[in-house]
Amino acid sequence: MEDFEYYMKNNKVKAIVLQVDSPGGSVVSCEEAFSYLKELKEKYNKPIIASFRGVAASGGYYLAMIADKIYANETTLTGSIGVISQFINVSELIQAIGIKNYTIKSGKNKDSFSPFRAPREDEIAYWQSMTDEFVAQFTNVVLTSRGDRIKGNYSELFDGRVFSGKSAQKYGLVDNIGTLRDAIKDAAEMVNLNAEEPNIITKPVNKSNILNYLLAKAPMINTSFKYPYEEIINGQYIGVPMYLYIPNYIGE
């Protein structure tokens, strides 16, 4: 967000190309980021072109709704408009090996979706209603940004499925098939700059950021940065609604 703010406030920057290579993340993170991007765009009114790489799905697609135009490669995976919450249940396992669990709680929903007991039907219905609420927020953002460009059955386009870049263009989820270079050229043309040789402005990197980059690339500790869903596996996001496309994709 600091980087985006830097480019928006910089008077030398006439247009922004936002490269997206992400399967998404938590609902709150995506909404906070999008809200701030929208605030900056309304204040500084600069054209934004999004360029999709390997994956721009779920929350990655959500953030791209700030763009005036979207480019994708034909083989980009995008879409996945939806919400997912995952829970682990080991109640049958602990029963089989003779472990007993005792929970002291203030209300019947205080241990909602506890891994130590089977979920009740009313719990499942409650979480589904909350999921429907979150996905309505997502689809509203998409329709507000691209409603007049989307073609097709909303119930199918917004059911969480992913699309290739080529199919996404067909349904109006993206505007053009092209590379980052194509997006840069288009952004330059939008603000009457030299499209063939635009001056691309890069934010200066401070020393602490350089150090973090080098540490992240160091072979000795590289494994600590390697797995993108470590937070899910170690339980940090179990039970947390996510705008996330699940397959194990490591973006750049």
Q: What are the tens digits of pLDDT across the range 76-109? A: 999 999 999 888 899 999 989 999 889 898 999 8
* Cα 77 from chain centre: 12
pLDDT, position 223: 39
Instruction: Enter the tokens of residue 6.
Output: 């830097």
Please state, in angstroms and rounded to a whole number, the distance separating the CA atoms of residues 77 and 52.
Answer: 9
Pick from 70, 59, 51: nearest CA to 33: 59
Distances (CA, A) of 181 to 18, 49, 110, 178: 12, 11, 52, 8
Angle among Cα 61, 67, 69 to the nearest 5 degrees reads 100
Q: Which residues are catalytic?
A: 58, 110
Rounded to two decimals, what is the model's pTM?
Answer: 0.83
Instruction: Enter the tokens of residue 20.
Output: 């997206």
- 162-164 and 77-79 as β-strands: parallel, antiparallel, unpaired? antiparallel
Pick from 155, 114, 139, 93: nearest CA to 243: 139
CB 71 within 8 A of CB 175: yes
Residues 6+ apart with CB under 8 A from 24: 30, 57, 58, 59, 60, 61, 62, 80, 242, 243, 244, 245
Please state, in angstroms and rounded to a whole number, the distance separating the CA atoms of residues 39 and 205.
Answer: 25
CB 41 within 8 A of CB 48: yes
- Helix/strand/coil for 137: helix
Residues 6+ apart with CB under 8 A from 68: 47, 48, 49, 190
Please state, in angstroms and rounded to a whole number, the distance separating the CA atoms of residues 125 and 135.
Answer: 15
Instruction: Enter the tokens of residue 83.
Output: 């919400």
pLDDT, position 215: 57
Pick from 18, 22, 28: nearest CA to 240: 28
User: Over 50: is that where the pLDDT of 212 sits?
Assistant: yes
What is the band of 219 on the pLDDT scale with cuts at 50, 70, 90?
low
Scan for tokens 């890069």, then name that residue: 202
pLDDT, position 20: 95
User: Over 50: is that where the pLDDT of 34 sits?
Assistant: yes
Q: Which residue has the higher pLDDT, 241 or 70?
A: 70
Residues 6+ apart with CB under 8 A from 210: none
Which amino acid type is present at position 29?
A: S
Give the single-character DSSP code of 62.
H
